[in-house]
Amino acid sequence: MKRLTLALAIAAFVTLPALADWTPDIEAWNSAPPPQPGAVVVRGATVWTATGAGILENVDLLVRDGRIAAIGESLDAPANAVEIDAAGMHVTPGIIDAHSHAAIIGGVNESSRISTADVRIRDVIDAESINIYRQLAGGVTAINLLHGSANAIGGQMAVIKMRWGAPPEELVFDAARPGIKFALGENPKQSNWNNDTPRYPQTRQGVEQIIRELFQQAADYRSAHENHPEGRAGRDQVPPRPDHRLAAVAEVIYGERDVHSHAYRADEMLALMRIAEQFDFTIRTFQHVLEGYKIGPQLAAHGAGASVFIDWWAFKQEAIDAIGYNPALMHQAGVLTGLHSDNPELARRMNLEAAKAVRYGDLDEHTALQLITAFPADQLGVGARTGRLAPELDADFVLWNGHPLSVYSRVEQTWVDGRRYFDRAADERMRESLAAEHAELIALAQASEDESSDDEQGNAESETDSDADPGKRRRTMSFASHLTGYRASELDHDEYCILHDH
Amino acid sequence: MITEARSLLILFALLLAGPAPADITALVGATVHPVSAEAIENGVVLIEDERIQAVGADLPIPDDAEVIDLAGLHLYPGFVHPATQLGLTEISSVPGSVDTDEMGSINAALRAEVSVNHDSALLPVAVAGGVLNAHIMPGGGLIRGTSAMLRLDGWSWEEMVLQTPTAMHLAFPSGAAGDEDNEDLALIDETLEKARHWHAAEAAAARGEAPRPARNDQLEALGPLLAGEVPLMIHANGIAVIETALDWAEAQQFKRVILSANADVQYAAERLAADGIPVILRGVYNMPVRRWEAYDMAYVAADRLHQAGVLFAIGDSGGGMDVANARNLPFHAGSAAAHGLPKDAALKSVTLWPAEILGAGDQIGSIEPGKQASLFAATGDPLEPMTKIRRVWIDGAEYDLMRDRHRRLYQRYRQHQQAEAR
């Protein structure tokens, strides 16, 4: 056994490509994880720490064994350290997206019941989603995969790190606090679709009522289980029937699972906070929070965080009062505020969403960057592991070729756990190898087509066949022209698309 | 009610007063970015009534001019949105507020501008983002009707129209790629053929050589297109569809064609440059069209067009979420610049070039004498999301930015929050 492990270790050592020529693949299953160097030093960069240290100019960042070891001027690095000359470049923490549906197999909504608290995203993580690689190319290093908002309680979320090439269970970010998606307003009350068989509730007060009732049931359920005697005494009584839905809701009451609730309007957020206070727990975050700026002090007093679209508005009635100044106002009110994507394309440019928090409401640039790094990390309970650049934290960071909030800047490298998962140079190598493979396949296809047409010329029967169905070839071509290679689960899932039947 | 005698009196008084003195505004102190020329530090822009009278470094300022000091700010021409449905939709999930897409296939006689709500709450938000002109398009069917170039301010849609019709719109059927028997394309061909005959009959009737043909609003509306007076804007996505559409347009011998397309248009760049067909690139913020394409495939499309020598403008999807967020147009252009497009080309692609492509190049798109005075003062480069837009003028009149609902809500709740904190 020991020998086998050793042999495997040697094999891994031998077959793993060196960092310099590591090349990702467009298919996760075929993409070897990038090596983790024992030490990496990024020299002479402008480092945005997302901590109280602020922005440090012309400093080095030292990484050892996947963790940040030091940040400072002219750091000593081990002789074998991978050296990166980052003069003129900026380094930021990896971007954390607290609201995503970008890597979920199948449907995002288990919308059948008003509560589907028992269903779990971690069972359906799509490790093969091309969104993971593309978001790495936008500097994203961790995302929160959430259910949709079709029902009041959508299901249990999963926070993943963007380890392209790893199987689903290895994407899961274990440090994250368990969470559950709630939803309020137009979506759970089914305002925007024709429903032949409407279910309760159809109003905001109905949504409030049913959530309150679910918490009552969950509290009773948990106490029934806790009151069931252990040992000999318990054997003489019928135990309470297990119910995974109520068990998950009960975890919320007992502080073991966080609520992240989709919400737009001030009224519905106040109502959910009051239920939580009645059951003595705190709503961890509201998601979207379009009218959060109207109740900033109340959100802060309750302790709810806010995860926000910065400028989506007017796409439904409840989004008519959404304003770009929302994050700035909430931040100033003391609300733990972050920006999210809710859309796999938008997720690729979260730095520009942060820039808009400077435009709308005058946040300083460093605070604006914290809206997509430190603050969402804190919301997900991973702030002690990622989202900032400081010693001991995971080496999740991004190298930009310019100011990270500038529209003219681009991501050059993205590191997760001290591994370089995205690199423009490696991406170029991948393009070349894909182009070569493409040319090879086309040549093979053409060769086989030539062969078969030779066959047809010598075969009257097949010629008759093709005459009998002259449309056949055209349809094939037409079909091919529409092939894009995407799977449905990789395409847009967001508030707008769900509501507008896209 | 004004009595007749009193209105005569007013008329008399006006005659005595003579012609009203020209209303001259001098914008001074800003760095002026004409777009059509190099930036002018500490420049002067003289505005007379609704037009720009002069632009320069050391211009004499008339004594009666209203002088506005813009020291520290940067003046840019308003962004020109090349393809949107602003004004035709308010809340996209509320059908009663949406007039974007008519039913039916042949809608040549539709005119987009007649259902523009001049008090749409979306318009001041776009203006506050520097989008001062927009090309408004009808959306439903195959032949969709005509579009108009608007100024985004006015007391009615009629006052907003800068130029109409700007183009006839055709949604090229995607099924026609690789299918010569496509029914939608056959319907388009048949309609155009009928229109040619109808107009020939109409011309013959005008000469007294034949009876007038029966009225047909749809066929009549196609006249300016067939006469080459109005360009055809072809909407096509995907390279196979784009190429089929270009072949078709060539066979139809349209005089002026504008192509509105997704990022795949980069694969037709050489042909478009050779044929002199301008392009509206429908957004930069898109996924690669195919899964196996490079992550930045949509980001580099503008630069590929530019390198090939295609005249192009950058737009967005023009529908859905992008209508309410037309204000993000400049950021699309900025992101194209992050991926290769020269910065000055990026700026032109959302100002001068859309104006030129849409036939309004002599009126808008740059800060030049004789053009409409539609411009804004910003804290810096307006393609940067961090930049703030401070003041806006549309056709010479300063625009009250507090008409932007977002600014009003911000002011109201910021004051409330500050009062609560005290």
Chain B, window 384-403: residues with a beta carbon less than 8 angstroms from a chain A beta carbon: 384-388
- Cα B375 to Cα B88: distance, rounded to the nearest angstrom: 24
Query: What CATH number does the domain containing B237 carry?
Result: 3.20.20.140
pLDDT at B325 over 80: yes
Indicate yes or no: CB of B343 within 8 angstroms of CB of A133. Answer: no
Q: What is the DSSP letter of A120?
A: B
Angle subtended by helix axes A460-468 and A424-457, to nearest 10: 110
Decide if B397 is inside a domain.
no
**Domain A95-388+494-498 belongs in CATH node 1.10.357.10:** no
Domain that holds residue B289: 86-365
Indicate yes or no: CB of A321 within 8 angstroms of CB of B409. Answer: yes
- Residue among A316, A365, A442, A481 with most chain B CBs within 10 A, to mutate: A481
Chain B, window 220-279: residues with a beta carbon less than 8 angstroms from a chain A beta carbon: 238, 240-241
- Which residues in chain B have their CB less than 8 angstroms from residue A134's CB? 287, 295
What percent helix, strand, coil does chain A show, rounded to 5? 40, 20, 40
Residue B117 at interface with chain A, using a CB cutoff of 8 Å? no
Which helix (H) or strand (E) segment is A135 a member of?
A: helix A130-136
Question: Which residues have a Cβ under 8 Å from the Cβ of A41 and sit 6 or more positions away?
Answer: A60, A61, A62, A63, A75, A77, A81, A82, A83, A84
Question: What's the gap in Å between the CA of A284 and the closest CA on chain B?
Answer: 22
Q: Please tell me which of the candidates A355, A482, A496 has its beta carbon nearest to residue B321.
A: A496
Spans of all domains in chain A = 95-388+494-498
Q: What local confidence, expressed as pLDDT, does residue B7 receive?
A: 56
Residue range A83-119, pLDDT digits in tens: 999 999 999 999 999 999 999 998 888 888 999 999 9
pLDDT at B9 over 80: no
Indicate yes or no: CB of A409 within 8 angstroms of CB of B338. Answer: yes
Q: How confident is the model at residue B320 (pLDDT cuts 50, 70, 90)?
A: confident
Q: Which long-range contacts (CB under 8 A, 24 or more apart) does A196-200 make?
A: A199/A114, A200/A114
Helices (H) and strands (E) in chain B, counts: 14, 19
Decide if B406 is inside a domain.
no
Amino acid at B45: V
Decide if B31 is inside a domain.
no
pTM above 0.80, yes or no: yes
Report the residue count for chain A.
502
Q: Please tell me which of the candidates B178, B180, B331 has its beta carbon nearest to residue A481.
A: B178
Residue B124 sits at the vertex; the CA angle it makes with B120 and B125, to the nearest 5 degrees, is 105
Residue in chain A nearest B379 by alpha carbon: A359
Q: Please tell me which of the candidates A296, A352, A478 has its beta carbon nearest to residue B331.
A: A352
Size of interface A-B (CB pairs under 8 A): 157
The pairing of beta strand A158-161 with beta strand A153-156: unpaired
Contact assessment for residue A324 and residue A292, using Cβ atoms and an 8 Å cutoff = no
Indicate yes or no: CB of B287 within 8 angstroms of CB of A316. Answer: no
DSSP string, A368-386: HHHTTTHHHHHHTT-TTTS
pLDDT at B278 over 70: yes
- Cα B233 to Cα A53: distance, rounded to the nearest angstrom: 54
Contact assessment for residue A357 and residue A371, using Cβ atoms and an 8 Å cutoff = yes
Please give chain A's pLDDT, 502 residues, in tens. 444 444 444 444 444 567 888 999 999 999 999 999 999 999 999 999 999 999 999 999 999 999 999 999 999 999 999 999 999 999 999 999 999 999 999 888 888 899 999 999 999 999 999 999 999 999 999 999 999 999 999 999 999 999 999 999 999 999 999 999 999 999 999 988 777 778 899 999 999 999 999 999 999 999 999 999 988 888 888 889 999 999 999 999 999 999 999 999 999 999 999 999 999 999 999 999 999 999 999 999 999 999 999 999 999 999 999 999 999 999 999 999 999 999 999 999 999 999 999 999 999 999 999 999 999 999 999 999 999 999 999 999 999 999 999 999 999 999 999 999 999 999 999 999 999 999 999 999 999 887 766 555 544 444 334 444 444 334 344 344 458 889 888 887 777 776 665 5
Torsion angle of alpha carbons B115, B119, B125, B129, nearest 10°? Answer: 70
- Which residues in chain B have their CB less than 8 angstroms from residue A481's CB? 177-178, 238, 240-241
Q: Please tell me which of the candidates B238, B405, B421 has its beta carbon nearest to residue A481.
A: B238
Decide if B249 is inside a domain.
yes
- Cα B273 to Cα B306: distance, rounded to the nearest angstrom: 9
pLDDT, mean of residues B272-288: 97
Please count the other Cβ atoms lying within 10 Å of the Cβ belonging to residue A340.
30
DSSP string, B171-205: E--GGGTT-TT-HHHHHHHHHHHHHHHHHHHHHHH
Q: What local confidence, expressed as pLDDT, does residue A198 receive?
A: 85
Contact assessment for residue A286 and residue A307, using Cβ atoms and an 8 Å cutoff = yes
Indicate yes or no: CB of A333 within 8 angstroms of CB of B417. Answer: yes
Residue B380 at interface with chain A, using a CB cutoff of 8 Å? no
- Cα A345 to Cα A493: distance, rounded to the nearest angstrom: 10
Residue B343 at interface with chain A, using a CB cutoff of 8 Å? yes
Decide if B155 is inside a domain.
yes
- Cα A146 to Cα A159: distance, rounded to the nearest angstrom: 9
Residue range B335-374, pLDDT digits in tens: 999 999 999 999 999 999 999 999 999 999 999 999 999 9
Token pair recorded at residue A140: 């994203």
Q: Where are the alpha helices (DSSP H) in A137-203?
A: 168-171
Alpha-carbon distances, residue B12 vs A324, B9, B20, B21 (angstroms)? 52, 5, 14, 18
Query: Residue B395: which region, alpha, beta or left (left: phi > 0; alpha: psi -120 to 50)?
Result: left
DSSP string, A479-493: HHHT-----GGGS--
Indicate yes or no: CB of A26 within 8 angstroms of CB of B343. Answer: no
Indicate yes or no: CB of A410 within 8 angstroms of CB of B410. Answer: no
Please count the other Cβ atoms lying within 10 Å of the Cβ belonging to residue A106.
9
Indicate yes or no: CB of B386 within 8 angstroms of CB of A427. Answer: no
pLDDT, mean of residues B28-57: 97
Residue B109 at interface with chain A, using a CB cutoff of 8 Å? no
DSSP string, A59-112: EEEEEETTEEEEEETT----TTPEEEE-TT-EEEEPEEEEEE-TTBSS-S---S
Decide if B59 is inside a domain.
no
Q: Please tell me which of the candidates A294, A314, A484 has its beta carbon nearest to residue B91.
A: A314
Q: Please tell me which of the candidates A26, A410, A475 has its beta carbon nearest to residue B339.
A: A410
Q: What local confidence, expressed as pLDDT, does residue A6 receive?
A: 47
Q: What local confidence, expressed as pLDDT, does residue A230 receive?
A: 87
Q: Please tell me which of the candidates B324, B385, B413 has its beta carbon nearest to residue A313.
A: B324
What percent helix, strand, coil does chain B show, rounded to 5? 35, 20, 45
Total domain count, chain B: 1
